[in-house]
Amino acid sequence: INNPKNTSTCKVITITSAECGDGKTLTTGNLGSCFAQLQKKTLLMDCDFRNPSLSALFGLSGRKGLSSLLNLEITLMVLPEEK
């Protein structure tokens, strides 16, 4: 993903699995944190509408998110949330 010899850049990384409890949220959170610490532009999206848990991992409320955006209740400019 972050190889200096690789001239192409990865734009999107998707974390998925067929089973619950495989560690998708923890892996996503850790990977996102690593990229942010490397000062890479980083956007984490929790697309699990039945059991969203990425916001809780970072201590956020999760009241506004992807479903709010898709329902046109908010714009991208209001998504960042304070802890």
pLDDT at residue number 28: 93
Q: Tell me the residue type at 47.
A: C
Q: Which residues contact 34 (CB under 8 A, 6 or more apart)?
A: none
pLDDT along the chain (83 residues), means of 10: 68 88 92 91 87 89 84 75 52
pLDDT at residue number 33: 94
pTM: 0.72
pLDDT at residue number 50: 86
